[in-house]
Amino acid sequence: MTTNERLFEAGRARRWTSILVVTGASGAGKTAAVQALDARAIPGVQCFHFDSIGVPTAEVMERDHGGGEQWQATATAEWLARLGGLPESVRVAVLDGQTRPSFVFGAAARTAPRTAHVVLLDCSSDVRAARLRGVRQQPELASVRMDQWAAYLRGQADVLGLTVIDTSLLTVAEAADRLEEIVRRLIASAV
């Protein structure tokens, strides 16, 4: 095989691998659904959690990055670069995280040799608040600000034509089923 043929084959393999970013407001079910998807051990699929890198305090975000939005953009770019470097045996890298779709697509265009996709997990404000006050035990996140963030993400999903999974009436397993359908379509499209 010539050098050009090897480069073509390497580029073709990379082109058909994907990063699926699962975003949504706190309480929408992202982490639970991605953990359930991960437990299914689908060959060629590896799952990651945005917050596993640590989330700095607001003061550190402001001091080191100029604010929370800038930190989120930087962290998103770092994640996509890291996921883009995974071995080709990882056909779909799934990243659970609260990030703006525009940050994902911007970072993918600059740093990721894989195709980036974004899916939004969303739910009603009442369901989100109940989850945050109940199982999550984070009542401070059940706020007007979180409702605004959820509305912003839904607006972005609508404008960008993203897939939206409404988890309001879904179990964790059912939300994971929906994610698995998307992941399997991404894998099938690579063949």
| Residue range 56-97, pLDDT digits in tens | 566 755 666 565 567 678 888 888 888 888 888 899 999 999
- Note the pTM of the prediction, 2 decimals: 0.84
Give the side-chain half-sphere CA count within 13 A for 119. Answer: 27
Gap between the Cα atoms of 86 and 172, Å rounded: 27
Q: Who has greater pLDDT, 45 or 78?
A: 45
Q: Which of 75, 10, 69 is nearest to 48 (CA)?
A: 75
- Domain ranges in the chain are 26-72+87-101+114-189
Q: How confident is the model at residue 13 (pLDDT cuts 50, 70, 90)?
A: very low
Q: Range with the lowest mean pLDDT among 6-20, 43-57, 79-93, 94-108?
A: 6-20
Task: Give the pLDDT confidence score for residue 7 in this predicted structure.
Answer: 32
The pLDDT of 33-62, averaged and rounded, is 82
Residue range 26-72+87-101+114-189 forms a domain whose CATH class is alpha beta
Q: Who has greater pLDDT, 17 or 138?
A: 138
Task: Give the pLDDT confidence score for residue 142 in this predicted structure.
Answer: 79
Gap between the Cα atoms of 133 and 163, Å rounded: 27
Q: How confident is the model at residue 107 (pLDDT cuts 50, 70, 90)?
A: confident
Task: Give the pLDDT confidence score for residue 74 in this predicted structure.
Answer: 81
Q: Which of 53, 47, 93, 49 is nearest to 71 (CA)?
A: 53
Q: Who has greater pLDDT, 111 or 61?
A: 111
Q: Who has greater pLDDT, 15 or 130?
A: 130
Position of tokens 């917050």? Answer: 51
